[in-house]
Amino acid sequence: MSGELSPIDKAKFVAAKKATEYVESGMRVGMGTGSTAAWLVRCLGEMVRDDGLRIKGVPTSTRTAELARNVGIEVISLDEAKWLDVTIDGADEFDGDLNLIKGGGGALLQEKIVATASDRMVVIADAGKEVDALGAFPLPIEVIPFGWQTTQALVEETLVSMDVLGRNSSLRMNGDAPFVTDEGNHILDLHLNRIGNPRQLALVLNQMPGVVENGLFIDICDSVVVGHGDGRVEVRDINAGTVEQDRLEFVETDNLFADLDD
């Protein structure tokens, strides 16, 4: 590895490392998608290799599945697992009630299915992902390609009656072509600025024809592990109402940090 990790990457790493404490041998573990979740997969892979951890991982995207296999984690499908002990994933935003915006990586549908099929969902994030109100990060919604422009127009029209500050939306692109999810769908990013009533918005969006799922995760997250660049971590449990502080020693190892492309 060349050079030191940035403070943001260090924060993501310590959050992921702390979250491995939720994982025990014999568990079926949902593994999220994105840069922070990739740290978690690497940490678990190191535990499989060095500590004899035995788990079955259910990834939320093809790229997470590929990374998990590369680090030695046994990968199975959700249908094979049927139910999960824990899902650990990142988030684009979280608020004080541990409601989330997810989907920046384009895997929100699989992420929500896996998270809701788990006894516990743990979010790992750097401190910059915490917000007073959701919505500064564009809210992704997955839509079917057929008639997506009509769906977009209906969504924008519906937003007029919602408690949001913005109503514009954009089709997510991958170069010159629309971004395509693992399920073959498109993603519309809603630029809302602030969401006053996330629960209401989530329900309304999912009632619209053409919308497959939205990136609001309401009452799904049980705990959040917040990492800081100096090694501090804070664990908040919404069910127990507890907040715990810890500090992890940051040691860069060739095994864990060999591939930082994610």
CATH 3.40.50.1360 positions along the chain are 7-131+219-247
Of 125, 129, 122, nearest in space to 31 by CA: 122
Q: Dump pLDDT digits (tens) for 9-49.
A: 999 999 999 999 999 999 999 999 999 999 999 999 999 99
Instruction: Report residue 123's pLDDT band, with 50, 70 and 90 as the boundaries.
Output: very high
Known binding residue 91? Answer is yes
Across the chain, mean pLDDT equals: 95
Catalytic residue among 46, 93, 111, 142: 111
CA distances from 28 to 33, 39, 125 (A): 17, 18, 22
Known binding residue 135? Answer is no
Q: Dump pLDDT digits (tens) for 226-255.
A: 999 999 999 999 999 999 999 998 666 545
CATH class of the domain defined by 139-214: alpha beta
Phi, psi of 128 (to 5 degrees): -70, -10
Known binding residue 104? Answer is yes
Known binding residue 147? Answer is no
Is 258's pLDDT higher than 60? no
| Helix residue ranges, H only, 52-90 | 62-70, 78-81
114: which DSSP letter?
H
Known binding residue 62? Answer is no
Is 141's pLDDT higher than 60? yes
CATH 3.30.70.260 positions along the chain are 139-214
Is 140's pLDDT higher than 60? yes
- Residue 111 bears catalytic tag: yes
Tokens found for residue 199: 């629960």
pLDDT at res. 35: 94
**pTM assigned to the model:** 0.94
pLDDT at res. 249: 82
Is 1's pLDDT higher than 90? no
Of 240, 150, 137, nearest in space to 198 by CA: 137
Residue 101 CA to residue 114 CA, distance in Å, equals 16
Tokens found for residue 238: 């919404």
Per-residue pLDDT averaged across 69-89, rounded? 98
Return the half-sphere exposure (C-beta side, CA atoms, 13 A cut-off) of residue 155. 34
Q: Where are the beta strands (DSSP E) in the chain?
A: 28-31, 56-59, 74-75, 86-89, 93-94, 100-101, 121-126, 139-143, 168-171, 173-174, 177-178, 186-191, 211-214, 216-217, 223-227, 232-237, 242-247
Instruction: Report residue 202's pLDDT band, with 50, 70 and 90 as the boundaries.
Output: very high
Residue 52 CA to residue 55 CA, distance in Å, equals 10
Is 261's pLDDT higher than 70? no
CATH number of this structure's domain 7-131+219-247, picked from the four choices 3.30.930.10, 3.40.50.300, 3.40.50.1360, 3.40.50.720: 3.40.50.1360
